[in-house]
Amino acid sequence: MILQVKEVSIRFGGLQALSDVSFELSPGEIMGLIGPNGAGKTTLFNVINGVYPPTSGEVVFRDEKITGLPSYEVARRGLARAHQVVRPLNDLTVRENVMVGACFGRERHSRGAAAAVAEQALAQVGLRDRAEQMAGNLNVAQKKRLELARALAAHPYLLLLDEVLAGLNPSEITEMVETGRRIRDEGITILMIEHVMQAVMSVSDRIIVLDYGQLIAGGKPEEVASNPQVIEAYLGDPEMTAKLMAE
């Protein structure tokens, strides 16, 4: 297994944000993480990549316990993240933004080598022609791709994607889903938080579901979509769920 989350819990004062969450992720998988707003999805990402230490439990990445390591140490081990709220370095070019990922990722490239890595990452996400543009001038969809390119430049084994489809129109969503498939085909495992159900159902090999900080279901997309507990907690109308799976 490339990632093992073992009975992870975290409490913020009186709020129990995660309760005994456990799952495993195999190399080469795309796993979707879904659930209502406030279910603890981003908090789980924050525990996995070292933003928050868990109150209890452990995270094992590539057979190494990484529980409580700072984010930069987790990144150096080959775990990268694209954030939901995109904050590029607006005063740098697109290429320079991506070079940052190469310099502080798993291989910690020099500035010279990072430029070549950035070119490759920009090509992967379709932004090579924007390399000299200032990052602050990109539109929302382009900034999402820039965030993804910066994560890819770290040459991760595992990529955490936090709502990379949010704010995109249908054609942009389709393009980003295809980009995700290509990334997986190049050997990178993906764990993704997503609310665009049709997209996450179509691209994921397996899906896990959080509700009120607890893991309530997991399995193949069709199994999760037909789970009565998931329908009640998140998906809603069973007829609409069936329609979603048929599309």
> Any long-range contacts for 115-122 (C-beta under 8 Å, 24+ apart)?
117/153, 117/155, 118/149, 118/153, 119/95, 120/153, 121/149, 121/150, 121/152, 121/153, 122/94, 122/95, 122/98, 122/149
- Write out the H or E segment, with its range, that includes residue 79: strand 79-82
How is residue 142 written in tokens? 């382009």
CA atoms within 13 A on the CB side of 61: 24
pTM of the model: 0.91
The candidate with the shortest Cα–Cα distance to 149, out of 100, 108, 78, 91, is 100
- Whether the CB-CB separation of 59 and 65 falls below 8 Å is answered with yes
What's the pLDDT at 191? Answer: 98
For CA atoms 72, 76, 207, 237, the dihedral sign is positive
Domains in the chain: boundaries: 1-78+158-164+184-247, 84-156
What's the pLDDT at 130? Answer: 96
Provide DSSP, 200-231. Answer: HHHH-SEEEEEETTEEEEEESHHHHHT-HHHI
What's the pLDDT at 84? Answer: 85
Q: Which residues of the chain have pLDDT under 70?
A: 235-247
The candidate with the shortest Cα–Cα distance to 159, out of 21, 27, 1, is 27
> What residue type is 80 in one-letter code?
A
What's the pLDDT at 166? Answer: 86
Let me know the angle formed at the C-alpha of 62 by 154 and 57, rounded to the nearest 5 degrees. 110
SS3 152: helix
* pLDDT, tens digit, 9 for 90 and up, residues 216-238: 999 999 999 889 888 887 766 55
Reported CATH class of domain 1-78+158-164+184-247: alpha beta
Neighbour count for residue 139 (Cβ, 10 Å): 10
